[in-house]
Amino acid sequence: MAAFIVLLLAALSRFLPHAFHGVGIGFTAVGGGLLFFGSRRSTSLAPAWQATIGVAIMALSDYILTTKIYAYPFHASAYLITWVWYAAVILAGSALLRKVTVLRVTAGILASTTSFFLLSNFAVWAGHQVVYPKSLLGLGMSYVAGLPFYRNDLISTTITAGLLFGLPVVAASLVETMRSAQNRNEPLA
């Protein structure tokens, strides 16, 4: 249940910049939320179904952002790469983060943010006729223009995933320390 709550909060986090009148903080919990959602696979759901549910929730947020916030027409074909990415991050979380270690969480963070940066900027370069020239220079321009977004995504995914995966470890360590101190009749301070 916690994984679904995290997924919903990740989807809602996409609306934060708009709630603050576009201050441009560029913080969302999407990457970390998808990794966490994937890692906490329910025993009743196969990974493919879990990815489908996750993509559906994120696709709904795409639809609302596009039609209500940005007031653009919605074309599902424009989001196919993004939806495949959502599913891939959930499945990566399912495979990579079943056993949580600092190295695995770091790998998940770097893989999710970097893959989104590479895919989304390539899609912008390939899909828009007037934004960037169809050359290696144009592709490079697309990636350079995306660097501030990559930085913000890397920071927000690191914070989100760090909290989601790190806080339970810290809490378990504190509980174990308290139990050990009680067993030895030592004061906690």
DSSP 109-132: HHHHHHHHHHHHHHHHHHH-TTTS
Q: Assign 116 a pLDDT band (cuts: 50, 70, 90).
A: very high
User: Are 6 and 37 within 8 A, CB to CB?
Assistant: yes
Q: What is the mean pLDDT of residues 131-151?
A: 93
Q: What is the mean pLDDT of residues 106-123?
A: 95
CATH number for 15: 1.10.1760
For residue 96, being part of any structural domain is answered with: yes
pTM of the full structure: 0.87
Give the per-residue pLDDT at 22.
61
As given in the structure block, the two tokens for residue 42 are 């329910």
For residue 118, being part of any structural domain is answered with: yes
User: Are 119 and 80 within 8 A, CB to CB?
Assistant: no
Please work out, in degrees rounded to the nearest 5, the angle formed at the alpha carbon of residue 135 by the alpha carbons of 129 and 140. 100
| Structural domain of 165 | 2-183
Q: Tokens 């020239």 sit at which residue?
A: 133
For residue 189, being part of any structural domain is answered with: no
- CB atoms under 10 Å from CB of 4, counted, come to 15
Q: Assign 53 a pLDDT band (cuts: 50, 70, 90).
A: very high
For residue 137, being part of any structural domain is answered with: yes
Distance of alpha carbon 107 from alpha carbon 151, whole angstroms: 16
- CB atoms under 10 Å from CB of 138, counted, come to 14
For residue 188, being part of any structural domain is answered with: no
Tell me how many domains the chain contains. 1
Give the per-residue pLDDT at 130.
74
For residue 39, being part of any structural domain is answered with: yes
For residue 162, being part of any structural domain is answered with: yes
For residue 73, being part of any structural domain is answered with: yes
As given in the structure block, the two tokens for residue 99 are 């056993």
Number of helices (H), then strands (E), belonging to the chain: the values are 7, 0
Q: What is the mean pLDDT of residues 93-121?
A: 93
Backbone φ/ψ region at 134: left (φ over 0), alpha (ψ -120 to 50), beta? beta
pLDDT at 166 over 80: yes
